[in-house]
Amino acid sequence: MNAPDRDLSGRGPAFARAYPILAVDDELDNLLVLRATFRDEFTVYTENSPDEALRSMVARPVAILLTDQRMPGMTGIDLCERVRDLYPDVQRMLITAYSDREVAIAAINRGGVSRYIHKPWDAEQVRQILRDSVARAHLERMVRRLRLAMLDRERFAGAHAANARLLQDLARTNSSLSACCQRLEELRPRLAGELEPSVWYRYDREIVELRRYIDYVGALQSRSVAVDGGVTRPQRALISVEDHIDTVVELVRHELVGVARLAVECPAPAAVWADATDVSRILIHLVRSSAAALRRDGTATGNIAVTVSAEGGSTAIVVADDGGHGDSTSQRALLAGGSTDARAPGLEAALELTLANGGELDAIAPESPGWTAWQLILPAIEPHGPQPSWASDSATPTGEGPTSAGRDEVP
């Protein structure tokens, strides 16, 4: 399905402005109209030639390029193609007064143009196109940052595992050396009267030195364990639930093709006090668990539903599917450890992340027959802190800001 129209008004005036738009046209009047029409909601930069546009983007990054097609020296498609190579994350849109099928094909194939706008354009239609583009730019930024954050966590986990193995080998070796040293120390009284003084002196000195090095290595090992800590501590903050659900949907969308239809319902606003990366990782584990259950069930195309509700100081996120793969008791067994089910490692990881963020994860029995579900409960406010206010303007990586209430099904 097509994505629903985005209403950015609730996010605060600075949200859309955090994703600048560059309008390019060789006719100054057109640029003046564009800026006058949309500057109340968006940050609009203008340049009257493609070359000037490319120079300006070096010093002034933008999120969206809105360019006319017919310009002297370089066409809009040529500009989009250059921007696609230099700044692939910039969304590109083309404005033209001509209905040329070949131009449209070239715009898509060469310039990677996401929208093709005909003159004369309708102000409200273009405004909604820009809102959709800002929402898309925000989502893509969230996805990029989440991927980097997850990669960092994986690197840390890998480094920790290697360090743990090294410390374990060191502890084993040091323990063997300590046992040998102890046996040598036990021989000291008997050898004291049997060895020549010079030999005894050297023997005794070497034992003392060996013991000193063994103790030193043991102290280093203890300090390394204390510093390493074993896990990354959650960096908790107030985050928008919808932003992170959107991010997770984008990351796992290709895994659900032919497996499940994913529907999301999230009220506005819905927030949790948690580590942003951890929340996304938990949701990824739960959605993948549902997808795995549907694959195993053999259903042609199943359904996964993500529902968010807020009550008091907590927010509940339910991930349910109609795979019919057991009751809540058998589902809980997957968290107990030792299960051979392929879903168990991911669910155990989700539980560990949930507990680290002060939350709860449990299997519940949905009202609909044949459905099974996991319920994630996380704090919605900072402990001993104020209720979150979405009046502040934000477009940060954690996605603070209000969210839209209704959500269409995601194919």
Predicted local confidence at residue 395, as pLDDT: 40
pLDDT of 270: 86
What pLDDT tens digit does each residue of the chain (411 aa) get?
344 445 554 566 688 889 999 999 999 999 999 999 999 999 999 999 999 999 999 999 999 999 998 899 999 999 999 999 999 999 999 998 766 667 777 777 677 788 888 888 999 999 999 999 998 898 888 888 888 777 777 776 666 667 777 777 888 888 888 888 888 888 888 888 788 888 888 888 888 888 888 888 888 777 766 555 545 567 888 988 988 898 888 888 888 888 889 999 987 678 999 998 899 999 999 999 888 888 876 666 889 999 999 888 899 999 998 876 667 777 777 777 666 677 778 888 898 899 989 999 998 888 778 888 999 999 988 665 554 444 333 344 343 333 333 444 444
Strand pairing class (372-379; 314-321): antiparallel
